[in-house]
Homo-oligomer: A and B are copies of this chain.
Amino acid sequence: MANNTNETIEETTSLLDIQFNAAISVDCVIFGYDKHNLKVLLVKSDMPMYKDKYSLLGDLLKQDENTDQSAIRVLAKHTGLSGLYMEQVCTFSNVNRHPLGRVVTVAYYSLVQLNEGLEELVHHHPDLKWEKVSDIEDLAFDHLLVFNKCLKQLRYGLREKPIGFNLLPEKFTLKQLQNLYERVLDIEIDKRNFRRKLKSIDILMDVNENETDVSHRPAKLYSFDKIRYSSKKKKRFSFEM
């Protein structure tokens, strides 16, 4: 794919040169879950026409990276974390979506467990905030559109793939997992049915530990068993509930 002749390069460099080029950006909907609420990391817009509005975290694509790499870079820059779960969602390209020129943006969402460290982020960076998903009403640019699309894809994926674990600590209780599903999907789930479902899917590992520091019967802790999951991945099963 890289050993083109000089001839070819000349021919097409010119072809592409006369073509319209656009800036390409990546926008990340960074979902954080703090055991009660699903939140999204937002940054105060630095554009005069969008002052007082917040926007998603993003950046322009660089010459030596693809959009996945760009998204990883944006995540690392703002959260300090790498290896986060991440999905490309959709590309937005309306002609006037960006007031400063033509910018086509590729949207990603990613998932992170909102611990104290991450909550603290916003104290050092006053332009950042974790906004509850249910409180998001208005964003700069077309970012409300982008956000809605990403939220939809997250909800969809949560029913079909074991991605929810990315929003929880390594070890968690069944109640925490159920709460996650209830909060993110905005539904109520019967405790017994939920537990039976999880038992039948059989992708959790009993870590033989209990919750601590609770003033009632402590719950057992589990972790997601990636290995067991991949071994049964072939048969399509649904997380539907």
Report A's interface with B, CB cutoff 8 A: 1-2, 4-5, 7-9, 11-13, 15-16, 19-24, 47-49, 60-68, 88, 90-91, 93-97, 99-104, 106
A11 / chain B contacts, CB cutoff of 8 Å: 100
Do A100 and B24 have beta carbons less than 8 Å apart? no
Q: How many copies does the complex hold?
A: 2
Report A108 CB to chain B, min CB distance, Å.
Answer: 10
Q: How far is the CA of A88 from the CA of B16 in the complex (A)?
A: 24
Contact, CB under 8 Å: B1 / A104: no
Asked if A19 meets B99 with Cβ closer than 8 Å, knowing A88-B91, A91-B91, the reply is no
Interchain CB contact under 8 A, B16 and A100? yes
A20-B60 in contact (CB<8A):
yes
- A99 touches which of B12, B66, B67, B90 (Cβ 8 Å): B12
Cβ–Cβ contact A99 & B4, under 8 A = yes
Question: Are A100 and B20 neighbours in the complex by a CB distance under 8 Å?
Answer: no
Taking a contact as CB atoms under 8 Å apart, the answer to whether B13 and A100 are in contact is yes
A109 to chain B, nearest CB (A): 14
Complex interface: chain B residues within 8 A of A23 (CB): 16, 19-21
Cross-interface CB contact of A94 among B4, B48, B66, B106, cutoff 8 Å = B66
The listed residue (B20, B62, B106) touching A61 by CB distance below 8 A is: B20
Q: How far is the CA of A9 from the CA of B95 in the complex (A)?
A: 15
Q: Shortest beta-carbon distance, A97 to chain B, in Å?
A: 7
Cβ of A186 to closest chain B Cβ, rounded Å: 14
Tell which of B4, B20, B24, B102 touches A104, judged by Cβ atoms closer than 8 Å.
B24
With a cutoff of 8 Å between Cβ atoms, the chain B residues found around residue A100 in the complex are 4, 8-9, 11-13, 15-16
Do A96 and B2 form a contact, CB below 8 Å, given A48-B7, A90-B88, A101-B12? yes
